[in-house]
Structure 1
Amino acid sequence: MSTEVQQAQGNRKNSKGSRRRIRRRLILAALWTSVLAIIVVACTAWIGFKANIMRTELQAATTLLPEMKAQIAANDTAAAAVSVEKLIGHTQAAREAGNDPLWKSVSALPWIGPNMQAASEVATSADDVARLGAAPLVKAFQSLNWKTLAPTPSGIDLSPLRTAAPKVQAAAHVVRESSKRLHNIETGNLLPQIAEPLISAREELATLSQGLDSAADAASLAPTMLGADAPRHYLLLMQNNAESRATGGIPGALAVLTLDKGHMTLESQTSAGALGPFDPPVPIDAEQKAIYSARIGKFMQDVNLTPDFATTAATAHSMWEKRTGERLDGVLSVDPVALSFMLEATGPVQIADPAIRKIGSGLPPKLTKENVVRTLLSDVYSAVEDPDRQDVYFSGAAKEIFSTVSSGKADPKGLIDAIAKGVDERRILLWSASHSEQATVGKYKLGGLISGPNVAPAQFGVYFNDGTGAKMDFWVKRTVEVAKDCTRDGYREVTLRVTSTNTAPADAATSLPGYVTGGKAFGVPEGTVQTNIVSYGPVQSNIDTVVKDGVKIPFAAQRHSQRSVGTSTISLAPGESATLEFNFGHIVQHSQPEIVVTPTVQSVKDVLLPPLAAPCE
């Protein structure tokens, strides 16, 4: 056989071998591809299965929350405990799904990985909140009882609240940290199916965190401030809304409120007028002195011309110490509308003191939630001519209400709700002479501050100070609204519209007592109401113009704690109305405006109208 033939045969054999090897490789590749495809499909199915578990369990947990809140509100601790166990079961299942080894491995991949990591974080946070937040809270709640938190003739049993405080603080810490963890997740590149629930969870946790922080602070401070360790003594300012001041009304009647293990007593009742003027005045910072004059530090009746309750309280505290030599633990302020809230919980209160009954012989023998405001802010001036006796009656009525509250006759849950409503409308304000306590109190509406890190960035204020020297504000009806909210050249512009109406009878000059009309004491005609309206913008804003009934008018422009302040004065005869528009510009804050107003005889919800939000022209 020739060499060529042999070579050809060898080539044919090699060719067949190569084709066989190629076929084997192709078969092997196809096999591995099939196996890989099966693995990918299986992994995808497994991940989808785990994702479905997470979604289903978290949805189930979410549906339990309203039910659990209702159970807590109804004081059904047994049902709440069952609900929280169910909640933990759901969140734990979701967390376990997110901790699956395959899930964690795939979470390291680009694009899909961050979405899976975010889902795991949501499940982990939900479980932390359920196990370390909700469960301890429900246990703490079980140790409390509304009845134990309400005053009784022997005081308040504060030990359960003090025992619950660490649990509430721990729960608040867990929720706060979980909230921070979710806020650290970048949502820009996440799938909508992941980003939207994550953003929703952030909002829910942020709201829950604020509530728990408040509860933790209250549980920590309340026992001490209610006299659990030693009696506490507070100067009680009873604000009279018939003569408006920025924080509510003139503090004509004063008393010392003593709290001893939760038991309340009113002592040292007197009037602001009895303290007399202070010369030299109590020092006031230069900004507020420029806006409100030195009267804040000269007369107890004017300590709350400023809307900053910390200034009001510190000044009143200093005045009381100068006149009496008594250094108190703080200052508490209430108004008759807040007292009406309390009367919803106590029911009618009989005027038992014979001396007070004699002074108010023409007034109702019982104070109710329906008649207390009119009695204290209007009818007393017709029935009692002497201003000093009016203050005595006012103080005596307040003492009867506080005594009834302290006697334990009030519905416990109703009383707590009444106090909460009074705080929410800024009708109940508190200041502590202890710097550490005040640092906590000042974080909330209860502190009545107008500046600081705890004041809303886009907070506006509208405050009323009587310029009549009378009690005519009982007859004034007011509304406040955002008339314009727009952006121009990167800065926000906001217009606050304030409308005031004097609803006094046309013959007010003769039909109302001289003490109510003022008797022209400050040159204001009888029946006319003169009001200094002060409006605050946010930090760094400017007050540009003030418009009265469509016409620009002069106004005073100042600053208080970096906030712009505009002041204008209106005078209204019976039946007259006036509208002021305060135009603020150069506002850098872009969050929703929050408006704070002086609490008046009206409900705050009737004063604050929905925003009109007109566009920039």
Structure 2
Amino acid sequence: MARGLIYTLAFILLLLAADAAFVVWQVRSNLTSASKVLVSGSEKLRSGDPVAAMPDLKAALQQTASAEDALRHPSARLAEAFPLTSNDLNAVGELAATAATAARSGSAISQVLTELGVTRGDISTAFYENGEVNVHSLETAAPRISEATRAIFLASSRLEAVEQIPRLQVIADALNTAKLQLASASAATEQAEMLFDLLPSALGGTADRRYLLLFQALGESRATGGVVGLYGIVTATDGQLALQSIHPYTKLKKIEATDVPAWFEKNYSFQSALTQWPQANVSPNFPAVAQVMLSMYENSSREQLDGVLAMDPLALSTLMQGTGPIQVGRKIITPDEMDELLLVRSYTDFPDQESQNDFLARVVRAFWDELSATPEDPEGIIKGFGEAITQQHLKFYLADEEEQLALSELKADGSYTSAGDMVQMLFTNNYSTNKVDYFLNRSTKTDVLILPDGTARVDVSVVLRNDSPRGFPDLLLGAGTSTLAPGGNASLVSLLMPIGAQAVSTSVDRNETAVLTYQDEDHPVSWAFVDIPPQEETRLRFSYELPGAVDLAGGGAFSLTLFPQAVVNAEQYEVRVAASSFADGKSIRESEIIKKGTLTTPALVEVAFASPGR
């Protein structure tokens, strides 16, 4: 009797186990199918086809619903009680719930895009058409974006809260992949939410806005890009941007900045940054520079403005990929020829600065007139704005503190401060009164050595090559100086270092020089003055130490962001991170980590440390 009962129980358990295995197979099949159609729906949504995306997203919801139903099966509930299978089933349950959330969020966004008239192709037409941003569309979409943001954030938090590691590797891998994808999606939707909240007011949706336009000449470098020769007023009215006026800065009356950060006044007033317009942007901190130049303008004109917009020739040519060619007088200017036209020929083809300024002003006005009309490629305009902002050729500052904070969180404020404390930036200020930075090429090699106590010892080698031609004085090559012929580059070369860094040494062409430093807000800056003759190069080396760069107590990490200066020829960089031997057994995964490339956008270098056996 007892033996028969045991056989019966064993048979029942075997049936339940087989049933549970079938349930797991079914759930896995449902989630695999859901994943495929989710990816397909997301791709269609990104390509601007919400109508085609909707069936895929609905299919994903059906598949996840089937998976969730299967997990409520009695055999699955019983399997949850067993230690060998409970972790796997819990993880699968969270994955199913997360996939359902993603599908619902995608469906909500697809629905609002369909309501805004996007059927197939270009999403940009729902928000930008006939030269203006559709503020109503932004306000309509904002609540749905917020809902999706909250839902994805909660789903991401749920996955992060799964502490038990699944026993099956395929489930563990799926869980880790989902965590990474959801964290990325959460960050993206959060930024979209901030952008959709910010744009209506910034673009004059609630009240007209007036902004100070600064046009930076990259041929004569300044820390934020180039010396500002032209200024203007841009208005924003219900999504429509328009250039009202543009003039050379010499049209301004007495220039003096009064409403400026205390640290800026302390560290840059000796360079006449508060009293001379061309010197106002010698700091790489664009929000502070914008405040200074806004104060200068407002004190001169007695007109209060709502912010600052700074752009340069490279921003112009990038945005012209969307506007198409512009016409100045009888001349048709294409995007491909804009850079050379503004950075070289505008200085060589005109006999004096007055006629050159007049030509530049007409080019800038023609561009803004085209931007305010019906653009050739609306999507190209939107992409161009994004590219110009991330490459630091287009910068914004908003006088409203909350709006400026949102701009900073979006990393669209044009400042190295958005990269955090661990940031390094090489920047130059040209003092040769010419435009030869068009010919300046720069490269850096950053060697980081992590010491046993976690201190980072950093050596930054800089090569500046002046490929300017030798020639007679003109607006491009300048008149030369007492030590340089026309075409020579006399520059203040500066290295902004992470917060807490301590400058150790500076050398120019292998000759040790005095260590000269100051503070840009909270960041120390080392600097040296160099003369670079035409067709020659100069080498500098900045060394600094950063105590506590790596916390080795539990296996830490070293990170450093290289931030680009807006220049004509982007910096070529190389970073090497190595570690000395550690007495406590800590080591990095590799003896040397190398990252190199062209610094057009901020570059993050990260190196993880771990104890042996981890």
Find the aligned partners of 1:103 and 1:530 in 2 and give their Cα distance: 75
Give the secondary-structure state (helix, strand or coil) at the position aligned to 1:539.
coil
Mapped pair 1:554 → 2:514? yes
Q: Which region of structure 1 is more displaced relative to structure 2, 554-563 or 266-275? A: 554-563
Find the aligned partners of 2:430 and 2:548 in 1 and give their Cα distance: 29
**Letter of the aligned partner of 1:476 in structure 2?**
L
Find the aligned partners of 2:493 and 2:71 in 1 and give their Cα distance: 58
Structure 1 unaligned regions, length at least 5: 1-26, 358-364
Match of 1:436 among 387, 399, 402: 402
Q: Which region of structure 1 is more displaced relative to structure 2, 557-566 or 166-175? A: 557-566
Identity %: 23
Find the aligned partners of 1:216 and 1:50 in 2 and give their Cα distance: 39
Give the secondary-structure state (helix, strand or coil) at the position aligned to 2:365.
helix
- TM-score, reference length from structure 1: 0.84
**Letter of the aligned partner of 1:579 in structure 2?**
R
Find the aligned partners of 1:187 and 1:480 in 2 and give their Cα distance: 45
- 8 Å contact 1:151–1:262 — kept in the other structure? no
Mapped pair 1:588 → 2:549? yes
TM-superposed CA distance for 1:503, in Å, is 0.7
- 8 Å contact 1:99–1:120 — kept in the other structure? no
Q: Deviations over 1:355-394 (max 9, x none)?
A: xx7xxxxxxx222211111111111111223223323322
Q: Deviations over 1:466-524 (max 9, x none)?
A: 2323211111012345444645432344444432211111x23x2x51x3334246865
- TM-score, reference length from structure 2: 0.85
- 8 Å contact 1:340–1:369 — kept in the other structure? yes
Mapped pair 1:55 → 2:12? no
**Letter of the aligned partner of 2:128 in structure 1?**
A
Q: Deviations over 1:564-595 (max 9, x none)?
A: 32223332111222333433432526354321
Find the aligned partners of 2:42 and 2:58 in 1 and give their Cα distance: 14
Query: 1:150 matched to which residue of 2?
Result: 128
- 8 Å contact 2:519–2:525 — kept in the other structure? yes
Shift in alpha-carbon separation, 1:118–1:280, aligned structure 2, 3 A:
closer
Q: Comparing both structures, which one devotes a greater share of its residues to strand?
A: 2
**Letter of the aligned partner of 1:175 in structure 2?**
I
Match of 1:82 among 39, 43, 55: 55
Q: Comparing both structures, which one devotes a greater share of its residues to helix?
A: 1
Shift in alpha-carbon separation, 1:441–1:553, aligned structure 2, 3 A:
same
Mapped pair 1:275 → 2:258? no
Query: 2:390 matched to which residue of 1?
Result: 424
- 8 Å contact 2:129–2:374 — kept in the other structure? yes
Structure 2 unaligned regions, length at least 5: 551-556, 582-614
Match of 2:426 among 434, 437, 462: 462
- 8 Å contact 2:423–2:563 — kept in the other structure? yes
TM-superposed CA distance for 1:551, in Å, is 5.4
Query: 1:120 matched to which residue of 2?
Result: 93
Mapped pair 1:575 → 2:531? no
Mapped pair 1:130 → 2:103? yes
Find the aligned partners of 2:66 and 2:506 in 1 and give their Cα distance: 60
Mapped pair 1:235 → 2:201? no
Query: 2:317 matched to which residue of 1?
Result: 340
- 8 Å contact 2:235–2:243 — kept in the other structure? yes
- 8 Å contact 1:187–1:195 — kept in the other structure? no
**Letter of the aligned partner of 2:363 in structure 1?**
A
Query: 1:409 matched to which residue of 2?
Result: 375
TM-superposed CA distance for 1:165, in Å, is 0.9
Mapped pair 1:167 → 2:140? no
Q: Deviations over 1:411-434 (max 9, x none)?
A: 011111111111111111111111
Q: Which region of structure 1 is more displaced relative to structure 2, 321-330 or 216-225? A: 216-225
Q: Deviations over 1:115-144 (max 9, x none)?
A: 43233223222221221x211112223225
Shift in alpha-carbon separation, 1:42–1:495, aligned structure 2, 3 A:
farther
Query: 1:599 matched to which residue of 2?
Result: 566
- 8 Å contact 1:535–1:565 — kept in the other structure? yes
Find the aligned partners of 1:49 and 1:549 in 2 and give their Cα distance: 73
Mapped pair 1:224 → 2:180? no
Mapped pair 1:474 → 2:447? no
Give the secondary-structure state (helix, strand or coil) at the position aligned to 1:413.
helix
**Letter of the aligned partner of 1:285 in structure 2?**
A
Q: Deviations over 1:440-471 (max 9, x none)?
A: 111123112333xx534533222222232321
Aligned length: 568
Find the aligned partners of 2:340 and 2:88 in 1 and give their Cα distance: 61
Mapped pair 1:198 → 2:165? no
